[in-house]
Amino acid sequence: MPVLELATYFAKNTEKILQREAIWLGKWNWLGRSSTIRYQPLGVVGIIAPWNFPFSIPCGQVIMALMAGNTVVLKPSEFTPLVGLKIAELFTQAGLPKDVLQVVVGDGLTGAALVQSGVDKISFTGSVPTGKKIMEAAAKSLTPVVLELGGKDPMVVLEDADLEVAAAGAVWGAFSNSGQICASVERLYVHEQVAEAFIQKCVAKTQQLRQGLGSEPVDLGAMNNAPQLAKVAAQVVAAAQAGAQVLTGGKRVTGGKGYFYPPTILTGVNHQMSVVSDESFGPVLPIMTFKDEAEAIQRCNDSQYALTASVWTKDLARGQRIAEQIEAGTVMINENTYTFALPQTPWGGPKQSGIGRTHGKEGLLEFVGIKHIHLNRVARMKDLWWFHYDRTRYQLLIAMADMLFGKGINRLKGAVKMLWFGRQAKNL
C-alpha cells in the first residue's frame, strides 16, 4: 500500500511540483528584470537500498527518480537481492524502456563501485557507519548524496494520556517488523505518576504477541540476519549486567530455524547504556520515567539521532507545544512509526539520522537540478553600475539606493537626487 500510494501521488503531482516557477524580485521586477526556476533531471541516480524494507524503500525512491526524468541504477542489500530483481521485473512489465532502470547485486564492494562509477547522485538508506563511508567516497568526486541513516526514536507518554491506547501504540511501534524499522520506538519515557500502570499494560500486551515462521498467523517473524540479532542480544545482556530489569523476553529463541529474538521490555535503564544510546534495530523496548515536561524534552534530545519522535496526551495543544521542542525530522502526536507511508510528507532527520529528505516535495527535489534563468527586458539601456565610473555616477548610485531602500524623507531625497545626477551622468 505505501508504494501504491506513493506511485499514485507522484503520478498526479510531479508535473505540478516541477513546473517552471517565477520568482518575485521585488523592486527589480519594476526595473525590467525577471527570474524563473526550472527543474532538470540530474542524469543517473544510484540508489543503495536496505534489507529491512527491501521493496517499499527502494521502489519509492526509484519511482521519484524516474518521475523526475532520471535513469536509475539500483543496488539492493546483499541480504535481499531477489527483491531488487523483482522490482526491475515489475517496471519492465509496466513498460519502462530497457536499461532506464538497472539492478546490480552484490555486497559492499558493489555499493562502493556504484558510488565511484560517476553517477550524478547517490541515495542511500542504511546504517550510520556505512553512510559515512559512502559520503567519504562520494566527496572525492563531489557526488551529492541523500543519506537516511536511522534513528533512536523516543516516545513520550504524559500523565494525561490514554494509557490503553498509548500502551498498544508502544508495543506496535517497538515490535512491528521485529523492531527492524528506523522509526521504531527505541526509547520510551513515561510520566512517573502513571508509569506502573502503563508498564503493566505494555508487558501484558507484549506477552500476548505471537512469534513464528508465518505458516500460521503471527505478529512477529524472525530478524533478518545473524549479525543484527547478535547486536541486539549483546545490548540486552550488557544492560542486564549493568542493573536493568528484563520484564519480558530477553533471551534468544532456540531450537528452530530462523533468527528469532523475543519482544523484550527493559526498565531500570539509563542513557549510559548502549541499549538506550545506540540504535538497536530489533524488538527491544527500554522504558524510563520522567517528572515533568522539561525533563522529558531533555531526554528526547539527548541522542545522536533525530529521525522521529512521538508525544502521547489528551491535551493536543500541550502535545503541539512539546513537539515543537523535540529535535526530530518528524514528531507525531498520539501516533508513531507509520509516517514513512505518507508520500506527501518529507522523510528524514538531522544529526546522525542523515542528510536530505525522501518523500514529499522535498524528496522529489532531491532528484533534480535547479536552474535559474534571469531576463533583462530593457537591455537597450546600460546598467548604472557598468563601466566607466566617475563621481557623478557614484552619487547617482547612492541616490538610487536611498530611493529604493530608504524610508520617509530620505526616500524622497533619493528620488530627487536621482533626477539631478541622472541628468549630469555621462555615457548613460
State the catalytic residues: 148, 182
For the chain, first and last CA: distance in Å? 65
Please tell me the number of Cα atoms within 13 Å of 413 on its side-chain side: 8
CA distances from 221 to 91, 178, 232, 275, 340 (A): 29, 7, 15, 21, 21
CB 375 within 8 A of CB 34: yes
Q: Which residues, 6 or more positions from 334, have their beta carbon under 8 angstroms from its beta carbon?
A: 161, 165, 166, 169, 310, 311, 312, 313, 319
Please tell me the number of Cα atoms within 13 Å of 352 on its side-chain side: 19
CA distances from 304 to 192, 193, 209, 279, 348 (A): 25, 28, 31, 10, 14
Task: List the one residue out of 427, 392, 398 whose CA is nearest residue 413.
Answer: 398
CB 94 within 8 A of CB 40: no
Element (H, E) at 253: none
Beta-bridge partner residues of 391: none
